[in-house]
Amino acid sequence: MKCWGLVPARGGSKSIKGKNLVPVAGRPLLDYGVRAAQASGCLERIFCSTDDAQIAARARSLGIEVSERAADLATDDAKVDRVAARFLADVPAAERPDVVVLIQPTSPFLLPEHVRAMADMFARVPHAASVHNVAPVSHNLHAWNQRTVSADGQVAFLFAQERAKARNKQEKPDLRAFGNLIGARAQPLLEGRGFYAQPVYALEIERRWAFDLDSPEDLALATALLASGEIPLPHL
């Protein structure tokens, strides 16, 4: 089975200017996912899809290939599913991979073993169209605890009936949130079914690895966690 990695890293970012290259504990954010993917040893090729010359230069310095992203796929609302489908369509059919693993720069706590586990899942479950890793949802963030706020400031539980029946942690069903990695077989991607193509299978990871860096506060937290050693990344 042939697995490739695809790193989506466009130049525009509104939450943090130049986010994909912003320093996190002394390293550009882009480096974290790329180094984990390389250290996994299971991705035959790794490509960075970008519209930005500086990101492309950094990607090449890390030893990965660059796929130039078209302008229509570099907008705020461009879906990564379309990016992957266009990328695969430009690869000759005989050379295409069986699986594309999406290495998202905003998941800097990715580990090489997460990538290997995903590749193994695709090999073991041939009918899986896509695979996501997931992490437990804390009780405070459980869907049944979520609230809506009306225009006049009134609060209501989104799932009021369910919460009334199960207020304690032990009474609520276990939920999972997205972890830090997602992959799909090439054919569903080419067919437009995207990275959520069914049937989709899950791999569980510890909550601490499921970190999404999307704001200045996230940047500060990631830096602190790495500097303290709370999040060890020995592959770097």
Same domain, 118 and 222: yes
Of 173, 189, 218, which residue is a domain's last?
173
Largest CA distance in the chain: 59
**Shared domain check, 189 and 99:** yes
Does residue 233 fall inside a structural domain?
Answer: no
Whether residue 183 lies inside any domain: the answer is yes
Low-confidence residues of the chain, pLDDT below 70?
none
Query: In this predicted structure, what is the pLDDT of residue 190?
Result: 98
Residue 117 domain-assigned? yes
Tell me whether residue 235 is in a domain: no
Domain residues for 142?
A: 138-173
Query: What pTM was estimated for this model as a whole?
Result: 0.94
Residue 161 lies in a domain: yes
CB-CB neighbours of 137 under 10 Å: 17
Three-point CA angle 97, 107, 147, nearest 5°: 120
What are the residues whose beta carbons fall under 8 Å from the beta carbon of 184, sequence distance 6 or more?
Answer: 84, 99, 100, 102, 129, 130, 131, 193, 194, 195, 197
Query: Does residue 108 lie in a domain region?
Result: yes
> Is residue 58 located within the same domain as residue 107?
yes
119 and 154 belong to one structural domain = no
| Whether residue 193 is found in the same domain as residue 87 | yes
Is residue 65 domain-resident? yes
Hunting for tokens 């999972």 — which residue is that?
176
Residue 234 is assigned to a structural domain of this protein: no
Shared-domain flag, residues 108 and 194: yes
86 and 201 in a single domain? The answer is yes
Strand, coil or helix: 189:
helix
CB count within 10 Å of CB 187 equals 13
Residue 208's CATH number: 3.90.550.10
**Dihedral sign, Cα of residue 201, residue 204, residue 207, residue 211:** negative
Over its C-alpha atoms, the chain yields an Rg (Å, rounded) of 19
Decide: helix, strand or coil at residue 223.
helix
Q: Are residues 103 and 151 in the same domain?
A: no
| Tally of domains within the chain | 2
Shared-domain flag, residues 123 and 181: yes
Quote the pLDDT of residue 193.
97
Are 7 and 30 a contacting pair, CB within 8 Å?
yes
Of the candidates 224, 235, 18, the residue with the CA atom closest to the CA atom of residue 105 = 18
Identify whether residues 120 and 147 lie together within a single domain: no
Q: Give the pLDDT confidence score for residue 14 in this predicted structure.
A: 77
Are residues 163 and 51 part of one domain? no
71 and 168 housed in the same domain: no
